[in-house]
Structure 1
């Protein structure tokens, strides 16, 4: 494929990931955390769609990893960056296995335990995703502002994961860590997505 086509594929895949992740996280997981047994028993169809949405994020994460590798494969860090994103996708795939178990759970405590297990495994995956973002920022170089925010987001993902396991009172600072991760991540990844769709690959066409 031409670099321009690959950039569009990566950009569209990113958009699919964004929307699928937003639905799965904020409409499904958050609902389960607020009323676990009620959601599983009365709105299990939404939960099943949430699981499907998480599966789609993994599929398109792999597509993004492939497309970015093809675009930047001449860069010495491209292969390493791809490996770390693939590690993240693989770990996320493992995490998803915990969610169907929640559907067959009979108590709210069992459901919350499965969701907690999912979050822990996913959190570990985000550590490797953070490394991918740091490498990606060094690979793309331009636009410099996008590269900068990708690197910062990657560092924040790693710090947040480390803090989860190192700080006994992490919950007291959870909102601060969330902001430190979310702000550079949204700016960096959304900006990169727009750049891929608008300008990506044109200089090599």
Structure 2
């Protein structure tokens, strides 16, 4: 497959991941957290769509991992970067498997506990994703600003996950950590996706 085709495939997959994750997190998961039992019992179709959207993120995560590996396979860190992204996708798949179990639960507490298990496993996956982003930043030779943003995002994913498990008063700083992760992550990964769609692979023929 030509480098330009691989870049477009990776960029498109990134966008699918981005929009599917937004829907699953903010339209479905947030609804469950606000009204657990009511959402699970009365909005079962919506919850199912959310789970499906999460599954799409895993599928296209694997597509991105493969496309980026093929695109930058000559770089010595490409294989290692791919492995860490696939680890993240695998852990995310395990996390998603926790959500359907909540559909048959009959109390708010049980449902919230199941979602908490999902979040905990997901956090572990984000640590490995952070390693992937750091390696990806080292693999890219341009554009420099995207490299910096991806590097910062990778570091902050790892720091945030570590803080979740090590800081007893993490919730006091949750909003700060969210901002430190979200800003470089959204700017870096969206910019990278757009760059892949517009310019990626053109100088690799």
- What TM-score do the two structures reach when normalised by structure 2? 0.99
TM superposition shift of 1:204: 1.9
Distance 1:157 1:48 in 2: 28
For residues 101-123 of structure 1, the C-alpha deviation after alignment (integer angstroms, 9 at most, x for no partner) is 00010111110011000000000
Residue deviations 1:113-149, cap 9 Å, x none? 1100000000000000000000000001210100010
Once residues 10 and 93 of structure 2 are traced to their aligned partners in structure 1, the CA distance between those partners, rounded to angstroms, is 20
Give 3-state SS (helix, strand or coil) of 2:10's partner: helix
- 1:18 paired residue number: 18
Distance 2:32 2:108 in 1: 9
What is the SS of the residue equivalent to 1:203? Answer: coil
User: How many corresponding residue pairs?
Assistant: 205
Q: Does 1:151 align with 2:151?
A: yes
Q: Distance in 2 between matches of 1:144 and 1:138?
A: 10
Q: Tell me which residue corresponds to 1:81.
A: 81
Distance in 2, Cα, partners of 1:114 & 1:97: 10
**Correspondence for 1:63:** 63
Which residue is 2:121 aligned to?
121
Counterpart of 1:29?
29
Other-structure match for 1:183: 183
Across the aligned residues of Structure 1 and Structure 2, the Cα RMSD in angstroms comes to 0.5
Q: Which runs of 5+ in 1 are unaligned?
A: none
Deviations for 1:170-195, whole angstroms, at most 9, x for unmatched residues? Answer: 00100000000000001100110010
Gaps of 5+ in 2: none
**Distance apart, 1:75 and its partner CA:** 0.2
Runs of 4+ in structure 1 over 2 Å off: none
- Aligned equivalents of 2:2, 2:129: Cα separation in 1: 26
Taking the aligned partners of 2:118 and 2:204, their CA distance within structure 1 comes to: 41
| Whole-Å separation in 2 of the counterparts to 1:109 and 1:145 | 44
Find the aligned partners of 1:11 and 1:114 in 2 and give their Cα distance. 33
Partner of 1:108: 108
> Who is 1:134 aligned against?
134
User: What secondary structure, in the 3-state scheme, does the structure 2 residue paired with 1:76 have?
Assistant: coil
Once residues 3 and 145 of structure 1 are traced to their aligned partners in structure 2, the CA distance between those partners, rounded to angstroms, is 22
